[in-house]
Amino acid sequence: MNNQNTMPIPELYVSQESAAKLKTEAGEMLSWDLSPRQICDLELLMNGGFAPLKGFLTEEDYDSVVENMRTADGKLWPMPITLDVSEAFADKIEPGTDIALRDQEGVILAILSVSDKWVPNKAREAEKVFGADDLAHPAVNYLHNIAGPVYLGGPITGIQQPVHYDYRARRNTPNELRAFFRKMGWRRIVAFQTRNPLHRAHQELTFRAAKEAQANLLIHPVVGLTKPGDIDHFTRVRCYEAVLDKYPSATTSLSLLNLAMRMAGPREAVWHGIIRANHGCTHMIVGRDHAGPGKNSAGEDFYGPYDAQELFKTYQEEIGIEMVDFKHMVWVQEKAQYEPADEVQEGMTVLNISGTELRRRLAEGLEIPEWFSFPEVVQELRRTKPAKAKQGFTIFFTGFSGSGKSTIANAVMVKLMEMGGRPVTLLDGDVVRKNLSSELGFSKEHRDLNIRRIGYVASEITKNGGIAICAPIAPYTATRRAVREDIEQYGTFVEVHVATSIEECERRDRKGLYKLAREGKIKEFTGISDPYEEPTKAELKLDTQNVDVDNCAQQVILKLESLGLIAG
Ligand code: PPS
């Protein structure tokens, strides 16, 4: 690694003149439209953030990185940076081909000279790199459910940087930061990696860490891809800018890093260290459970709390960056100041607000004390995440045809409209199929597409503060889960299982469809000749037998109230 932090680091870009020429040539090549994650990876490959890599890993390098955290020629590199593609695209490519890599608008960013093409063993990659082949890990889920099945590897020729329209002045390449440090005379720089808003404890600990290391401080937050469910980077950057003013001027700088995190704990910490060394930093703060992915499917932590620090220490010399311990800061009431938890005198009153408690207070619109966070930061967070009673949400009814979904959904809609305050939209199964999904049939593929469309519209409504009421059959658990994930980025998802039995639905047969289904005149009919996977984790299960519609609607309203979605 380059610990000569003032020297320029090699980039993969060609000169401007050659870039123009190459771009014309690349227009004729087969091209791959990069995913958001691949764009992040490519940017850091091209600007030297991922030095010593010179392209997407070859098969030999990949095997070696997965097994030993080193490239085939022995250089420390813990994370497989691979170009995953679809089978259909891979079939068109032979090693030796040059392909154009384009961003999502079609702009050519680079040329990949493909030297390798292979089908990876993803289960092994998950085990070795992330510690378990468990879909509860966001990167393992990405690996199996989002990444393409074939990897391409080879050197990159950089044509241009990905274009960013947001916070341009705060984005710096490794060489820009190195030049800045040189210009400012900063020789020792502590980097602080983060994907969360900073509160007072963070400000205290970073300031102390820099002071102890006799160094300047670089707040270096990730604005590429972080953990699903994190606060969006627009909000975070506004928060960081507010906190920046709290440091003594000229000691601290803020720069945004377009990294796609993998939440790989210990390996990720080493990776972050290499990236920071490439950006000219000499020290990095590594905390408890650095880049931790949360709980595994058995409800346990994926990594031990100090695994990342231990692995980092093993490699810090080779990385060329020194680890600075993250001190757990707590508010000491009697002294009205922050102190490291292990230095607090006995008998003092120590206050702390956990992440979960903070989220609860924000959701319920409760007070967040000034000792915990800066008012400007709290104000930004409240703007983005208003109290639950002011956020949008989605009620998703699921159940057999004729179970009563539409009737109950209509009754709920009317009650919500009576209350007022938020616009309400009903996306009824039948109605959606007449317009939004008019060309679709009832195969699994078409049903999934139908539900994903409903989910997309509902997520937009939720994002914009409205109430979406959906009432499709939605027979598949995985599709319902995917819709839930889409919506939970923006607000609450309330799944209501209208649990009328198939026998009762058939007995009622309001539309005469069950009769036709029995006679084989309607094929793939849910409950008769097509499956329905019962929800096991619905927020509410409605038993409609001997219960009138009004009462069912009332149960839904009470549920909304208990979830804090409507003011009581
Ligand atoms: S799905 O599975 O969620 O996409 O179905 P959905 O969009 O809710 O559409 C269900 C309505 O279409 C009518 N219908 C059928 N339902 C199930 N299976 C088959 N094969 C079928 N063919 C037509 C039926 O009237 C459903 O309306 P509801 O309101 O549920 O009774």
139-148 pLDDT per residue, tens? 999 999 899 9
The catalytic residue positions are 194-196
Which of 442, 451, 495, when mutated, tests ligand 1's pocket best, judged by the most ligand atoms within 8 Å of its CB? 442
Check: CB of residue 215 under 8 Å from CB of residue 257. Answer: no
Beta strands 350-351 and 329-332, pairing class: antiparallel
Q: Is 401 left (phi over 0), alpha (psi -120 to 50) or beta?
A: beta
Overall average pLDDT of the 12-20 stretch: 94
What single-letter DSSP state applies at residue 233? Answer: H
Assign 2 a pLDDT band (cuts: 50, 70, 90). Answer: very low
Q: Which CA distances in Å does 400 have to 403, 483, 498, 512, 546?
A: 5, 18, 8, 14, 17
Residue positions in the annotated binding site for ATP? 399-406
The rounded Cα 564 to chain-centroid distance in angstroms is 25
258-295 pLDDT per residue, tens? 999 999 999 999 999 999 999 999 999 998 889 999 89
498-517 pLDDT per residue, tens? 999 999 999 999 999 999 99
DSSP 477-523: HHHHHHHHHHHHTTSEEEEEEE---HHHHHHH-TTSHHHHHHTTSS-
Among the listed residues 276, 277, 235, the one whose alpha carbon sits nearest the alpha carbon of residue 259: 276
Whether the pLDDT of residue 405 is over 80: the answer is yes
pTM for this model (two decimals): 0.81
Angle at 407 between CA 401 and CA 412, to 5 degrees: 130
Pocket (CB within 6 angstroms of ligand 1): 401-402, 406, 429-430, 433, 442, 447, 450-451, 472-475, 511, 513, 522, 524-526, 530
**Angstrom distance (rounded) from CA 264 to CA 284:** 17
**Angstrom distance (rounded) from CA 273 to CA 79:** 12
Whether the pLDDT of residue 543 is over 80: the answer is yes
C-alpha dihedral sign at 10, 16, 22, 27: positive
The rounded Å distance from CA 407 to ligand 1 centre is 15
Element (H, E) at 90: helix 87-90
Among the listed residues 179, 186, 175, 248, the one whose alpha carbon sits nearest the alpha carbon of residue 214: 186
Share of the chain above pLDDT 90, in %: 88
Nearest atom of ligand 1 to the alpha carbon of 450: 4
**Angstrom distance (rounded) from CA 110 to CA 129:** 27
Which residue, chain included where needed, has tokens 């036709």? 516
Q: What is the pLDDT of residue 406?
A: 94
Whether the pLDDT of residue 1 is over 50: the answer is no
302-347 pLDDT per residue, tens? 999 999 999 999 999 999 999 998 778 899 999 999 998 889 999 9
164-212 pLDDT per residue, tens? 999 999 999 999 999 999 999 999 999 999 999 999 999 999 999 999 9
Nearest atom of ligand 1 to the alpha carbon of 511: 25
Overall average pLDDT of the 418-436 stretch: 92
Assign 4 a pLDDT band (cuts: 50, 70, 90). Answer: low
364-373 pLDDT per residue, tens? 889 999 999 9
Q: What is the ipTM of this complex?
A: 0.92
Nearest atom of ligand 1 to the alpha carbon of 429: 8
Which of 408, 430, 522, when mutated, tests ligand 1's pocket best, judged by the most ligand atoms within 8 Å of its CB? 430
For each of the domains in the chain, give its residue range(s) and CATH number, in order of start: 16-158 (3.10.400.10), 168-257+263-330 (3.40.50.620), 388-562 (3.40.50.300)
What is the overall mean pLDDT for the chain?
A: 94
Whether the pLDDT of residue 466 is over 50: the answer is yes
The rounded Å distance from CA 449 to ligand 1 centre is 13
